[in-house]
Structures are given as structure tokens and as C-alpha cells.
Amino acid sequence: MTLPGRHPWVKSSYSSQDGGDCLEWSPGYARAQGGVPVRDSKTPDGPSLMFGTAAWAAFISRVRKGELST
């Protein structure tokens, strides 16, 4: 997914530092459009997912609490 104009992708702080599991999202797009785009940084031209802001907030909350297994 190519985001319009000035909404860059950023690497999640939860992504591994060894170049493995890398998730990117666009906080600028999320603020401007109300949806949270997510993609695999190893495949920037590949598919991406769009989450509603409430669903994304619930997911991040569970990650921070350690409720999701790897």
C-alpha cells in the first residue's frame, strides 16, 4: 500500500532489532484518516492491512500487557 503524500511508514518499537519480525505502521495517516495501516517492512510493495482505530488500540493494549503469545 502506498500512502498518499506526507504520511511515512515507521517501524514499530516492538519489532525485533535483528531484521526479522518487522512491522511498520503510519501514525500520520492514522491521525489524518482514522484508520491504521500496517505492513511487513520486508515487503514494502506487498499487501498491507487497515485496522480501525478502536481495534488497533485494543491490540496494542493487549501487546503491552503481554496477553498475546508469540
Q: Give the CA count within 13 Å in the CB-facing half-sphere of 66.
A: 0
Q: What is the pLDDT of residue 51?
A: 94
Domain ranges (residues) in the chain? 10-62
Judge whether 37 and 49 are in contact, CB under 8 Å. yes
Q: Which pTM value belongs to this model?
A: 0.73
Judge whether 23 and 70 are in contact, CB under 8 Å. no
3-state secondary structure of 45: coil
Q: What is the pLDDT of residues 25-70, one digit of tens each?
A: 898 888 888 899 999 888 888 888 999 999 999 988 998 898 987 6
The label of the residue with cell 505492513 reads 39
Exposure string of 22-32, with b = 16+ CB inside 10 Å and e = fewer, is: bbbbbeebbee
